[in-house]
Structure 1
Amino acid sequence: MLYFSSVAPVKQQVEAELTEKMQAYIKSQLALKIQGGIIGSTALSFHQDTINALNNASSNNISQLIYSIRQRYAEQSNYKNIKTEVILPNGQSIIQSWSDKPPQKNHNNDAFFQKVSADKQAFGSLTIDERGVGVVALSPVMDQGRMLGMLSMTQGLASVGKAFQQDHLGYWVLLVDKNYLKAKFGNAELLNKNTTIDKDYVVANNSWFPPESLELAKNYQQGGIDGRDVYVIGQHAYIDIAALDESGKPFGRHLFILDKKVYSAPINAAMNAAWLSIFGIIAGIIALTGVLVLLVNRVVIKPLVAVQNLTDSILQTGDFKQKFNVTSNDEVGQTSHALNSLLDNVSKALNEANNVVHSIASGDFSRTINGEYRGDLAILKEGINNSTHNISHVMQELSKVMQSLKDGNYTITINSGVASGDFKTMVHNAQVAMNQTDQVIREVNAVMQEMRNGNFATRIKGQTAGELTLLKDRINESMDVVEKALGEINHVVTGQASGDLTQRIQGEYRGELEAVKTAVNQSINRLASIVDQAVQTSGVVTSEAVSLSSDSSDLSSRVQQQAAALEETSATMEEMNSAVQNNTESAHQATTVFEEVHHSATQAGVVMEKTIEAMGSIQDSSHEIAEIVTLIDSIAFQTNLLALNAAVEAARAGEHGRGFAVVAGEVRALAQKSADAAKNIKHLIESSVSRIDQGTKLASETGKVIQEITTAIDRANSMIHQINHASAEQAEGVNQVYQAISDIDAATQQNSALVERTSATAKTMSEEAQNLQDNMAFFKTGNTRNSRPTAPKTAAKPVVARSTSANKTLPAVAPKASVQKPAPSKPKPADNGDEWADF
């Protein structure tokens, strides 16, 4: 009975204490792992590179940071195998620190992912997946209340085994149930390379545990109570506890292997105490047995049971606020007081730690653990406070950066000395980003200033990345397009200044530059078309003027022939006057002469009609040229208005439109000079039209005179026939013929003067038309052909002088009044001072 009342309860208590102690130990170790993972992943979720990567669904900006985390943790902590993963909201992984290949994993069906997606809170647990067993912490990445994705941090458990071996001088081995693997993954081959314990269990990871612990673990025996069991094999005690996954389901066993004494010493002590009590009772105090039993039960057993019950309650609920009900001041009471103090410290430390972690998760970095603690609690306090302090300073510096960005100030200097580890790298990266942004902004301002000064050759050359590279490329491309457009416009305008209208803007542009290109090309096309028409018209005028000059020369030659014929007629009349007896023969000769004169006069009339028609055509062409010049003047005026409107729009654009305003001013000046040139051409055409009108009038008068000559010759011919038929009236007819010939001679002299004036006018008009053609030849349109019309060569008929013997002297004839020939009008010199040359 004494065994069952004293030893058996101690055995159960030892087993319970060992089980609860190991369970508390593994829970605390896992909790530290989970909290560390949550803090690390949460801190990384605040990193701007993480936010940018998830916003762009790209790993380009964060890959270097993710790949460096494992090495930094290994160098600066006892965590040697940290694995980091970035996940999109749809569950797709975009980067994994343990692989350089594009991830194919999708976590959409994982319980971890679903829980964090629903709660928007960080979560961590011991779990097993395709990579094996580990502690996984998953934190959401938030940006202005919107979840961009998640950041996962996975840790191994080798440090747990090392810590247990140092603290308890024993071994901890984690076993994985093959049946669990088969149920979850469809097969149990995930951990085939690991050490097999029995048909149902394998070791979680061979590298986590010493070889001797794996050999001892092969003595594992299945079958505990409520998933727990304590037993002794050889010189070692085994404590078997269920290992739970993130859903609370057992996936394996926590197997703690301790020295046998840890288990047997309290039991042996209890048994020794029991035997001493028995011997004491038997030896001398049988009467006091009942009293001692009652006393032991009251003083020892009940308090121990109370301690055990309270310990069970704390282990089951995790509530460290519970207290022992102390009713005595003996050793049991003092032990209870000590346990209450311990529970108070642990509860207070956990509450403060939870409050600090919650504050960090809420964005409040000012809260710290202020309580006084010792030992591991003091280490926990110092670690959490240092982490909070470090994160607080880093967030302050980052807040200062964000405010500077908001204010447009990129020259801020970040104090990186307040941070360490990854936080220092984060601050350094923020400083580098600010410096690069400031450099790009300065280069952009410099390029815009050069553009304002009319220099479009400056470019942004600094090293950039991401969106800054895109901004740099867009600005440089814009400068290239503007520089190219202005170069083409300058080339076209320079060609216009030199008279070359064949140049066009050929480049491909968009927007307003395309509109300017179209307007300039259309303007040049229209101007070239007008110049082509003017050149063609001037060619026609020149050809007609040359033809008129040739016809006038021919007419002058014929009039001189008429004068010579009249002189012969006068000589014939003298012969008729001196020899009346030869009247019949002389009359016959006179008839022949008058027929020749009549033929010449008829031809002169035909030529003069042609001359009048040609002068009419020239007059019509001159009027058409005047209309074309008027059209050129109108186009120049409209171009001037368009340039003025362009200058106004450039002025509205401010500094950005200054360069275009200069071009618009040059176009306007070009339009003004075009208008001035059109006015000069119009003046020359009006002068030519006036002279052509005058020549037309003179040619009409010449035609009338030639018609009168023809009529007079007809009359003279009639008279000669009358002389032939009536010799009696010969003397009177001779006098009439003499008088008629005198009139004809006077008219012929006048006709000669008029013909000479007409010829001079035609020559002047030809020279003016040639000057116009030479001026229009200044322009090169691609369709213009330089041609000079040649005057047709008309052979003048030779004058045949007839000599007759004077048989009879006629009365002296009054000398003819010399007709003053008008001097041909001297053509005005062509104005070679072309306004276009001054553009």
Structure 2
Amino acid sequence: MRNLSISKKFTLVSFIMTLLTIVIGYFILNNYKNSLIKDVYKNIEIDLKNIANDRIEGKFDVGISNAISIANDTMIKRALAENNRDLAIEALANLSKNMKDNTPFKNIKVHIHTKDNHSFLRNWQVNKFGDDLSSFRKSVVKVNKEKVIVNTFEVGKAGLSIRSVVPIFSQSGEHLGSLEFMQGINSVAKAFDKNKDGFLLLMDASLAVAKVDENLKLKDYIISQKFINKEFLEDSKTLDFKTLLKEGIFNSSKFTYTYEYIKDFEGNNVGIALVGKPYEIVHLAIDKSTNLIFIALVILVLALLVTFVISLINMKTNIITPIKDLKKAIDSIRVQSLDASHIEVKNQDEIGEVVQSFNLYLDSIEAGIEKDREVIHEARVVMEKVNVGLFNDKIKKQANSKEVALLINVINDMIEKTGKNLFVLSETLVLLSQAKYDVAVPTINGVTGLIASLLNGVKVTQSTMSEVMALIDKSNKELNSSANELSNASKRLSESSNIQAAGLEETAAAIEEITSTINHSSENAHKMTIHAQNVTSSNEQGRALANQTVNAMDELSAKVISIHEAITVIDQIAFQTNILSLNAAVEAATAGESGKGFAVVAQEVRNLANRSAQAAKEIKDLVESATQKAQESKSITDKMLTGYNQLDESIHTTIELINEVATASKEQQNAISQINDTVNSLDKATQENASLASTISKMALNTQHLVKQLNNAVRNTSYNEESKKRICDPSMIFNVNKLKSDHIVFKDTNFNNCHEGNFFKVKSHHECNLGKWLDANANEKFAQTTQWQELLKAHKNVHEKVQVTIDLYAKGSSNEQILKETYEVENEVSKVFDLLDKVREINCEKR
């Protein structure tokens, strides 16, 4: 086609258009013909149905009028009231004669029923009466039950007929029974036959209540009329009822058929009214219309051919010849020197105007080239600035050609949008550098690729820093609380250690007094031994010594009681020390990692307290034993005073008792030494406790100082309060945000490899790091949520849409298609990031 001449092109195109017009005209006229045929059939269908419905409705109107008129006859009412059938027969005979003489009804059928649905009188079978109609005459039952009028088609033993049933009331309004006026459909069939049309009332054969003549059967229907057009009947035997019922119309070789459903008073289909119009009448209008359409098609073809020939002659004379002349002139310019830039104008017609325009065009080409050259130079200068990061200049000069002007507009738009986007990102990064981690990273619409990745990277960075600061703030508050508790505990421990040290000093002093007393008692016991050996020399001297012994025993008893009280004090001190150490251990456990050292100190204090309590218990046992011995000594001395006359016989016993007292004193002296050693150990442990309490206090002060420094750092930053909702699991802060970054890298890596002809497959949504993390956590509580399902869907969409983008690039699709898909990728990536944050919030809520 490209190598053909204009005349051949015009001829070919004109021929094709002429042929195409003929074909289109044929299809249009043929379609019009088919539409006309359908309209004819539709109109025939509507007309036949309307005629059938109108004539049947007329029969209904006549039937109900006659039924009401007959039911109001006085004789019939009286006959029912008195159960006088003869009177009813007479009344119906008179009515039948009057109607035969004055109306088209020659043989009316009237059936009178009692109010309990029994037959009272059939005027065509007067001897058949009394039978119960309840089982098969629903219309009669309804009229007698509800006292309403029923005008309907109903199936009877004679087939399908019109039954107009009305209730009969006495003059006083008492319900007496009902009356039925029965009609056939013969008059309707005759009216159709008179117009050369056909009509058949067909009852559904499945509803027949009596045996039917085989000649009256038509497929699955029974003919329910006496007058029958034999030609119409014979042709209807060839009728395809399934096609007719489905399409509403059917054509045979003789008739065009349609139908109307026949329904009873309950709305049930009991048969159809089959109507038809002779085929030649229906197709007479169709044939005329077809002939007119054929004539119009012939005229159209002839007109197009004549127009085609005339157009060819005119084109050759008035177009091709001047164009050839113009071509010769242009060729002469081409073969001449470059200075010959104009064509001579020989004609003043449209071709001449074209030549003049061409000459003017030659003049404008050079000016346009120079103008475009200046614009391109300015573009080069501006782009050199853009390459080093300066976006403040634009290309201001106007280009000559539309293509260059379009390119300049695109470059200016690129400079403006890129500058604005980078400025927004720069402002955001400056705010982040100022520790403002609650800054809302702005949304930049209409960007994708590396700019969108840079924006998403800033968002991930801001989210990570905000969550880290929220975690530091939370931990700092908890550390501050623990430091305060540690400081208070160290103060209480120091105070308790001081009190314990004071108590131990008092105990040591008391023990020294006890030791002195016991030593003195031991010396006295020795002296008593010497005096006991010489007691026989002087009875009076013995009594004096006995009195001294009583006094010494009293003093010993008092001292032992003092020792007992001192031991009780030591036991209480050990108990309080144990309680304090337990409290310190609890506080150290609450402090966590920073309280481990203090927990060790608390454990050592508790061990010392337990050993003190054990030693106090042993001393207490010894003191109780000494008390018992002192009481025994006093008892012996009392006996000595009361029975001094038997002193001589008991002197040996007294000496032995004095020896026992001396032995007990030595034992007491040893016990006191042990008590003294224990007290010294307690004093040393108390000093160590006091030293540890001082160390713990310094540690608490250092911790509080560190808390203040952290608190000051947190106050100088700001972070998003929403970050607190997702920092319950610190490991997820870094893991999830790394997964976000990985997905940005995934998208950029694949986008960078996109170019025409490069087909490749990306990782599936189960193979990337985020996909592996999703699969690994599928059974977690936070994964049993709708947000998790949305996350899985969005993540899958990212991989699928990246693959679609790669395929579009490889196939060389348009920018519009590629950008549309990349924008959807960015939307899905943002959705994945938002849902990951939401899932972490849900995780914290469930934990």
Shorter-chain TM band: 0.3 to 0.5
TM-score normalised according to structure 2 size: 0.35
TM-score normalised according to structure 1 size: 0.36
Q: Which structure shows the bigger proportion of residues in helix conformation? A: 2
